[in-house]
A and B are shown apart, each in its own frame.
Chain A
Amino acid sequence: MADDQALEAWFCEHVLPLERALTSFIRRNWRAEDEVQDLRHDVYAMAIAGARKEFPADSRAYVFAITRNHLINRAKRAQIVSFDHVVDLEHVDPRIDMLAFERQLSAREELRRFQIGLDLLSPRIREVVLLRKVEGLDARQTASRMGIGIDAVNRQLAMGMKALADFMLGGTGKVIRQSASRRSTRRNRP
């Protein structure tokens, strides 16, 4: 059985780089656009569960196989079952998505993606991220520097973290704003 540290290393090194290809694959084989993120999330959880027993030899094939089976199972369980949809899914060959041109980003390219991702953040969130990362200020120091409350700083930071992760792993990094009642007003579309 693998321990959590090994699992985390495996997940970050072998599964997260697939995020962009995986998201395209799900999007192209699932009718409801707003369920794509949840499906991907399910796949990640299942991949971790399986890898805990034994690390796969080919992580990429493993993750795509999980995805395909998950989509098929969900389609069968959906309240409005579309027979065509299920039949088509069973004929889907994920190899095309797997073969799609994928490179590991070089350090320089990653930095550049980062800059672009930062630019996509709202000015306030960007400021909080920079103060934290470049100047190493904690929440209290950031709050006093920016003249806002600590809770606001933490909220901005949380939003920045999520948006940056989405962007770095291949999406658009749109930031969701949550009202005080924690209900989002816009959908995050990676």
Chain B
Amino acid sequence: MSSRARDAHDQAADWLVRRQNPEWSVRDQADFDFWLNASDGNKAAYWRLKHSWDRADRIRALGLRSNTTRALFGKWIGGVAAAILVMIMGASYFVWPQFSAIHPVETRIFQTAVGGHEQLILAEGSKVELNTGSSLRTAISGRGREVWLEKGEAYFEVTHAPDHPFVVHAGDHKVTVLGTKFAVRRDNGKVVVSVVEGRVQLADDKEGHTSRLSILARGDRAVAQGNTTLVSSQPVGQIENALSWRSGMLTFDATPLEDVAAEFNRYNRVQILIVDPQAKLIPVGGRFPASKAEAFTRLLHDAYGLKVEVGASQIKVSR
């Protein structure tokens, strides 16, 4: 299968490289102009690469040195994991200088609207995905990494840093992580932690007193509410299903329709209301796009013969 984007970018990169070098002739310029004017796609690719490459001139401000001129510091250990999103940062001078230089504490707030989905990278490289209607406050400094999930749900891929544990505060609970992939969801007084990879420590955290620690590992799902924390071990597929929102989908497995509607309602301004008490109990299974509430109710009509009335702010489902 050909790729228009890849071909254009390969050519654009080759041109950009050639233009960097001193042996650039009139003939080269003519060839380049011909290629650039051949299509707007070529322009898009070239301008895109050039724009980022020009901004890279600021690298000088980072005070970095190439390896061959830093023999003094020895060979640095910087690893690039093959997996798409895990970054394992070696403890080397080159990798951390900016981290220890981050002070005073930088506080940021990130928020998503209803139906929103935002991906962030924190100052030390950890990746965060915010789900619908969420709010996350972060404080990353040379001394520590703390975030507060003020509402909603977030998925984390935390860079490994043994000297700087990553802490997620959610209500009266706190999740301490060294480096791993997990999600935290906050629903009023209930906090749900799902671990995809690695280990996290979940604790109650009221007024600074930490108590009742549980260690959660891959496949564990903890539901903490008030004084109760319930940990269950799930087949990994089930943890992934709970996180299918990351690709814009909601997954259900024999879930009562009432709960399904509530879940859709997190992602959509137009709310689904199940009026009939028996309809509320209908078990639903499958995978649906989160933003397509109305399409889902049409399915309910087709599959169960339910009556669907679509309004401006509400979809009423009855028998």
Residues of A within 8 A of B (CB): 4, 7-8, 11-12, 16, 20, 24, 27-28, 34, 37-38, 40-42, 44-49, 84, 88, 91-92, 96, 99-101, 107, 110-116, 118-123, 126-127, 129-135, 138-139, 145-146, 154, 157-159, 161-162, 164-165, 168-170, 172, 174, 176, 178, 182, 184, 188-189
A88 near B295: Cβ-Cβ < 8 Å: yes
Q: Is the CB of B40 within 8 A of A46?
A: yes
Across-interface contacts of A131 in B (CB, < 8 A):
66, 68
Instruction: Name B residues whose Cβ lies closer than 8 Å to a Cβ of A.
Output: 1, 3-6, 8-10, 13-14, 16-18, 20-22, 39-41, 43-45, 47-49, 51-53, 55-62, 64-69, 78, 80, 84-85, 87, 89, 95, 98, 110-113, 115-119, 121, 123, 125, 130, 247-248, 289, 291-292, 294-295
Which residues on the A side are within 8 Å of B59 (C-beta)? 114, 118, 129-130, 133-134
Q: How many A-B residue pairs have CB under 8 A?
A: 188
- Of A34, A123, A159, A169, most buried by chain B (CB within 10 Å of CB) is A123
The answer to whether A24 touches B48, judged by C-beta atoms less than 8 angstroms apart, is: no
What is the CA–CA distance of A164 and B98 in the complex, to the nearest angstrom?
Answer: 19
16 more CB-based (< 8 A) A-B contacts, given A134-B65, A162-B9, A178-B10:
A8-B43, A44-B44, A48-B40, A48-B44, A91-B295, A101-B110, A101-B116, A112-B123, A118-B64, A130-B59, A130-B65, A134-B66, A139-B17, A146-B68, A157-B20, A169-B48
User: What residues of chain A lie closer than 8 Å to B69, measured between beta carbons?
Assistant: 135
- State whether A138 touches B80 (Cβ < 8 A): no
B91 → chain A, closest Cβ, in Å?
A: 13
Chain A hits for B56, CB < 8 A: 114, 129, 133, 164
CB-defined A-B contacts under 8 Å, sample of 8 = A28-B291, A38-B5, A44-B40, A48-B40, A84-B295, A119-B95, A123-B67, A161-B49
Given contacts A42-B41, A115-B98, contact A161 B16 (CB under 8 A): yes
Q: A44, B51: Cβ atoms under 8 Å? A: no
A154 to B10, CA, bound (A): 12
